[in-house]
A and B are shown apart, each in its own frame.
Chain A
Amino acid sequence: METEELTNELELVYSKPETLKDVPFHYCPGCSHSVAHRVIMEVVQELGIQEETIGVAPVGCSVFAYHYMNVDMQQAAHGRASAVATGIKRVLPDKYVFSYQGDGDLAAIGTAETIHTVNRGENILMVFINNGIYGMTGGQMAPTSLPGQITSTSPYGRDTADVGFPLKITELVAMLPGALYVSRHAVHTPNAVRKFKKAITKSFEYQKQKRGTCFIEVVSNCPSGWKMTPVDTIKYIEEVMFPSYPLGDIKVPKDENI
């Protein structure tokens, strides 16, 4: 049977969400950014909140997130996405507001904004794409790079005696009383994608309750910066990233009543 004939008989169970614009992604082959964009937009579509959602894009490879995500968006100066999201949420408290940032953005130049946004318990969702490297600028070492990790600025591997240890900013913000829900995910396998999607759904639902910041890390890849094939990054994520960045909930709301 020809595929076309066949699809008439079968039920369409998966296609691109309407909340993603009909344009191809500019990201490198196999990059986690595209998957993370898609999942967030799928949730927006499923919750029916496209008109009520406002995103803030960072500086980094995902600087053009607003080319893809079909919701209102603002792009912020490097590291300042959570501060811009704070402003938006305070002026429009009934909108669903999220920031989307890489590790160079959120955990390096934007560390102060990140910590203070969560410490104030801003009622936003912060999505943190941790690929352990500065992708956009050519694969430089990030605060999140792993001990021994070879990058363009640590050609002999990250030397912890010189530049310190990977910054676990997710655990750090989880300690703050302003954090409502803090969870670490990945998008490297189908099941990881399913769990990440649930976490994003929960975060938007919690946002309605205005009880604090939701912070979701995505342990991501950067095939170009890591100089690996996309398939090899799966193994690297599991064997090298997860020991430092274990998956799972780090903080959950005390009384889960949604």
Chain B
Amino acid sequence: MIRGTVIIDKDLCKGCELCIVACPQTSLALSKSINVSGYRFAELVETNCTGCVNCALVCPEVAIKVYRKAKGTKKVV
């Protein structure tokens, strides 16, 4: 069951990795490719994101949007 997810604006990301260490689910990792500024960027690599918002709270670039399963809505996948 998907509980949450993130959308990371890869071109805003500076590859600082602060989101990666803040994620309690280790759902994030740095990409192998680079973005327009030449940084490796953070990506969601697992499906276990809970939408806890931790990554977005520490992201200096405000590059992360967080989504979470709404209370009372029916299960998503």
Chain A's closest residue to B44 (CB) is A3
Q: Which residues of B contact A230 (CB under 8 A)?
A: 16-18
Q: Which residues 23-57 in A have Cβ within 8 Å of B in the complex?
A: 24-25, 27-35, 38
Is B60 a contact partner of A29 (Cβ separation < 8 A)?
A: yes
> Which stretch (A13-21, A90-98, A157-165, A207-215) binds chain B?
A13-21
Chain B's closest residue to A10 (CB) is B67
Is A25 a contact partner of B66 (Cβ separation < 8 A)?
A: no
B61 CB to closest chain A CB (Å) equals: 6
Chief secondary structure at chain A's binding surface: mixed
Q: How many residue pairs bridge A and B at CB < 8 Å?
A: 102
- Number of residues in B with C-beta < 8 Å to the partner? 35
In the assembled complex, the Cα of A20 lies from the Cα of B53 at a distance in Å of 18
Known: A3-B7, A6-B5, A231-B17. A24 touches B61 (CB 8 A): yes
In the assembled complex, the Cα of A188 lies from the Cα of B18 at a distance in Å of 8
Tell me which of B21, B64, B67 contacts A11 (CB under 8 A).
Answer: B67
Is B76 a contact partner of A9 (Cβ separation < 8 A)?
A: yes
Q: Which residues of B contact A29 (CB under 8 A)?
A: 14-16, 39, 60
Tell me which of B12, B14, B44, B51 contacts A30 (CB under 8 A).
Answer: B14
How many residues of A sit at the interface, in one of the four size bands?
A: 35 or more
Is B69 a contact partner of A12 (Cβ separation < 8 A)?
A: no
Is B60 a contact partner of A7 (Cβ separation < 8 A)?
A: no
Q: Is A194 an interface residue (CB 8 A)?
A: yes
16 contacts between A and B (CB under 8 A): A1-B2, A1-B76, A3-B44, A6-B67, A6-B76, A6-B77, A11-B67, A12-B67, A13-B51, A14-B64, A15-B66, A27-B60, A30-B60, A31-B60, A193-B58, A230-B17
Known: A24-B12, A189-B22, A231-B21. A34 touches B60 (CB 8 A): yes
In the assembled complex, the Cα of A33 lies from the Cα of B16 at a distance in Å of 14
Known: A30-B14, A230-B17. A10 touches B60 (CB 8 A): no
Seen from chain B, the residues whose Cβ lies within 8 Å of a Cβ on chain A are: 2, 4-5, 7, 12, 14-18, 20-22, 39, 44, 51, 53-54, 56-62, 64-70, 73, 76-77
Known: A190-B58, A229-B17. 11 other contacts (CB 8 A): A10-B4, A12-B67, A14-B53, A15-B66, A16-B65, A20-B62, A27-B60, A29-B14, A34-B62, A189-B58, A231-B21
In the assembled complex, the Cα of A155 lies from the Cα of B14 at a distance in Å of 29
Q: Which residues of A contact B44 (CB under 8 A)?
A: 3
Q: Which residues of A contact B61 (CB under 8 A)?
A: 24-25, 34
Q: Is A187 an interface residue (CB 8 A)?
A: yes
Chain A's closest residue to B64 (CB) is A14
Q: Is A63 an interface residue (CB 8 A)?
A: no
Known: A13-B66, A14-B65. A7 touches B5 (CB 8 A): yes
